[in-house]
Amino acid sequence: MVADSVFSGTTGTASMHSTTHKSLSFGKKKGKALHGGTASNTGTGTHSSSSPAATAKTRRNIKVGRIILVLALLVSAVLLGCGSYFLMDTAESRLAKNRYESIVQRAEANANWVLTQKKQASDALANMFGAANPNANEWPFVYMEGYQEIASNLKLITKGSLSFCPIVIGYGEEQRAFEEYYYNLYDEWGYPNGTGVSAFGKGIYGFGYDVINNKIWPDYRYPVISNYTSHGIPNPDNIMVPFVQSDFGVHPALMLDVQFEANRFVTTQVVMECSETRKTAQNKSMDCGSITDMIWQPTNAEDVVSGPTGLLYSPIYPRNDPFEVSQIFTRRNERDLCTVIVGEFHVS
């Protein structure tokens, strides 16, 4: 019985082992089945997420993202380019402005220096002319010996010319006597035949259309025989200001009435009015010199080309009659004065 019990126990144990093994085996199979079921379910889920609609949506999102990236890069490039251009343009404009202002300042300083030199030369020659012809009652029938040499030396380092232009009462006996006086001097000085002579003959002339004779002369010079002015400014005092002596000696413009042009006419009047004020005030220190606006002026100077010109007027007062305006001495500021008017524009 014991044996049976032992055997029976052994058998029971084996039976239990067997049962347990089977149970484990079943568990493994069941696990495999479960695992297989899970794999199947997972595979089904993955296949569902990779459907054509999802793929197309993904591709579309990628394409939209790329477009947005490109647009962002383009906008950034445009903004950076505009910013860089603005900064460079501002810097260039500032640089150009500073350079322009620097050039203008230098040009103004240089022009002021040149004008000062010209005025000093003009005033010095005017004083010498007044000393050489000290009595006002002798004017305008006066001249200066050695004028060409003296005026040439007084030009110093400036360009242009120095011209003697006395005030003459025109359109009558004084004009005719004055013309004869200077033509005789030209012959005496050995000037070539025809000096100061125009197509109409001898006499003080102006440039332009001859309204008195209603014609244009071949050399475009008309005889000044009336106080009618081509520029229309009244000349009730019958004033003429003929150019009769030059630092060049023989000059093609000798006998030209500088009043034919409006700016010169006005400047002459300004100088004469100032001189009258000076006489009334008995003030010898009053400076009545003046300058015309810029005009286009041909020139006989070898060192100056035709171009913008200013005429600097310095009045001459005879030494014995210091308050009488006997004549006006003009200093031509040819061409080199354009550093003040075109230099915002052109420097020769």
SS3 135: coil
Residue 116: what pLDDT?
A: 81
Q: Which of 312, 43, 29, 42 is nearest to 159 (CA)?
A: 312
Residue 312: what pLDDT?
A: 84
What's the Rg (C-alpha) of the chain? 53
CA distance 55 to 33: 32
Residue 20: what pLDDT?
A: 42
Q: 104-341, which class in CATH? A: alpha beta
Strand partners, 313: 290, 330
Residue 31: what pLDDT?
A: 43
Residue 348: what pLDDT?
A: 40
Residue 58: what pLDDT?
A: 87
CA distance 253 to 242: 10
Q: What is the DSSP string of 220-276?
A: SEEE--SS--TT----TT-EE-EE-EETTSS-TTTTEEGGGSHHHHHHHHHHHHHHH
- CA dihedral over 108, 111, 113, 115, signed as positive or negative: negative
Strand partners, 198: 201
CA distance 345 to 348: 11
Tokens of 265: 């006419």
| Sequence-ordered list of residues with C-beta below 8 angstroms from that of 143, at least 6 positions apart, any chain | 164, 182, 185, 244, 245
Question: How is residue 138 annotated by DSSP?
Answer: G
Tokens of 276: 């009258």
Distance between first and last Cα of the chain? 148
Burial class (CB in 10 A: 0-12, 13-18, 19+), 201: exposed
What is the H or E stretch that residue 280 is in? helix 262-281
Q: Give residue-wise pLDDT tens across range 125-138.
A: 888 998 999 998 89
CA distance 328 to 208: 23
List of the chain residues with pLDDT < 50: 1-48, 331-348
Residue 173: what pLDDT?
A: 94
pTM above 0.75, yes or no: no
Residue 41: what pLDDT?
A: 46
What is the H or E stretch that residue 337 is in? none
Residue 43: what pLDDT?
A: 45
